[in-house]
Amino acid sequence: MSAPKQLAKRRKLEKKRLRKRETRLKRQRKRQTGWYRPDGFGPVAMLDAPVGGVKMSEVLGDFVAPLADSFGDDRAAYERLLSLGQVAWNAALQPEYRREAMIDDMIEAGLPWESQWERQACRELVHRLVARKLESFAKYQRPIVAFQLDELEDGGYHLSVASAVVQ
């Protein structure tokens, strides 16, 4: 396929994605519902303009980026990494004396069928991520409530993050 045809095809695909996104947003506004968390606890209010001017989806993506390459293109593995990133992020926001208990509770609840060795490996990964959060992302204090990972037509992913507003 020639370069102009590829460019035209790419533009057409981008316009189609934009129309779909706009249609989905109009539908949500019409229903007056927010983005739904995967745990089924109901709607989460979404802000059009993020507080502080930074999108938490970009922050979470940057936060787990050093480990994302080792997971390859497997969507399920990337979602597990994002889940561990969410646990580590929220644990890092807790006082130190509550952090370890929170990590243990989340890993036991999320991985009850895994072996003790695999749970320990997850615990170590979460501790590495907590250290990364405290070193490199200390200025962001908004807890991550939920995230959603959508697969794009071009093979990439779109990450949406719901975070709480800290007063």
Residue 162 CB-density burial (10 A; 0-12 exposed, 13-18 middle, 19+ buried): buried
Enter the pTM of the model: 0.68
Q: Express each pLDDT in 87-113 by its tens digit.
A: 999 999 999 999 999 998 888 888 888
Q: Express each pLDDT in 13-22 by its tens digit.
A: 888 887 887 8
Beta strand pairing call for 144-151 and 157-163: antiparallel
